[in-house]
Amino acid sequence: MSEKQYSTDVVIIGAGTGGLFAVFECGMLKIKCHVIDSLEHIGGQCIALYPEKPIYDIPAYPSILAGKLIEKLEEQAKPFSPVYHLSQKVATLKRRDNGRFEVTTTAGTVIDCVAVIIAAGAGAFGPNRPALENLSHYEGKSVFYMVKRRDDFAGKTLAIAGGGDSAVDWAISLSDIAKKIYFIHRRDKFRASPESVGKLNAIAKTGKVEMVIPYQLHGLSGSNGVLKAVELADLDGNKKTVEADVLLPFFGIVPHLDAITGWGIEVDKHHIPVNQSTQQTSMNGVFAIGDVATYPKKLKLILTGFAEAAMAAHAIHPLVFPGQELHFVYSTEKGIK
C-alpha cells in the first residue's frame, strides 16, 4: 500500500475538540482512527480563533485556555496512535462494494475504512479575507488571520481590525508585548462582550492601544511581503495611514458544508441531522458529532460534543467488530489499553 493509501477502522473528519475526543473514545474500544483536517494543525477553532482565550465550562477545569485544552486532548488521544492528515479536505466519500468506505482528500490521500465520524464543527472553514489589493503578497509574512504564538508579535507594531471577540481579545492579550497596537473598526459599536470592550478601552487610556474608529481597511503598503503601513478610509472617504509591521484582520470565518452535500448525506440548514441515540446520519456507517450535528433541543457546547463522541464510538463498535459483544466497563476499571 502506497504512502497515500491507508486502511483503518474509522476516519474522523475534523481535528477539533470533538474529533480529538472521538479518537480517545474509539481507542478505548480498540477502534483505530485516522483524522483529516483542512487546517495545518490540530485544534480546530480553538487554535484557529482563540487559543489563549479561557474556557469555563469544561468539567474539572474551573478555567482552561483553549490552546491548553487542545494539548490535553491530544495527550489523551496519543496512546491510541491516531494518524493525522492535515492541510487537506475530504473530496469524496463513497461506499465500496464490500460495504466499507473509501475517503479521498484534496491532497490525494485515499483511506479505506469501516465507518466515518464527521466532527467538522461548522464545516471546513477559512478566514473571511478583507478585499485588499495584493493581499496575497503579504499573507503568511505580514498578514495573519490567527495567532499561533503570542511571542511572534513581541516588540512589533500591530494593526488589528475587527469588532468581534477575536479582535478585542487578541488586542488585550497582545497589548503587553507589542510595541504598539492600532485597533481598527468601522463603527463605535462592538460585537464582542461588553466586559472585554471595557478592558480594551481601559488599556487604550494607557497609550498601549490606539483606537482608530470609525475606519476600515483600504490598502497595504510595503514590498516583498514586508508590511510597512496600512491605509484606512472612513465612510466619508477620508483617508488615514498607520505604520505597522503586522496586520491581523479578524473578520470571522467562512464555514461551508459544500463537500458534504455531495456525499448523499442529509443536510439541513448547514447542519447534519442525526439519530440522537447513536449520532448516525441518514447514511448508515456515517456519524456526526459536535456543532455540525443537529437534533431537537441540541445544546452547542464542547461537553455535548464529548458525550456525542462516546455515543458514536459505541455505535460503531459492532460495525468494526461484528458479532463481538461489547461489555461496557468504566475506564477506572479497564484503564488505557
pLDDT tens figures, 235-292: 898 999 999 999 999 997 766 666 787 899 998 877 899 999 999 999 999 999 999 9
Q: Which residues of the chain have pLDDT under 50?
A: none
Half-sphere exposure of 214 (CA within 13 A, CB side): 9
According to DSSP, the residues that pair with 240 across neighbouring strands are 232
**C-beta neighbour count of 127 within 10 angstroms:** 18
Distance CA 200, CA 190 (A): 11
pLDDT of residue 247: 98
Give residue limits of the domains in the chain. 5-126+254-334, 129-251
Alpha helices by DSSP H, the chain: 17-28, 44-48, 66-77, 135-138, 165-174, 194-204, 258-261, 302-320, 331-334
- Chain segment 50-59, per-residue pLDDT in tens: 776 789 999 9
Half-sphere exposure of 277 (CA within 13 A, CB side): 0
Cβ–Cβ < 8 Å for 247, 259:
no
pLDDT of residue 124: 56
Distance CA 186, CA 180 (A): 20
What fold, for 5-126+254-334? FAD/NAD(P)-binding domain (3.50.50)
What fold, for 129-251? FAD/NAD(P)-binding domain (3.50.50)
Domain 5-126+254-334 and domain 129-251 have a common topology: yes
Cβ–Cβ < 8 Å for 251, 130:
yes
Task: Determine the Cα angle at 38 with ends 295 and 147, to 5°.
Answer: 100
pLDDT of residue 220: 97
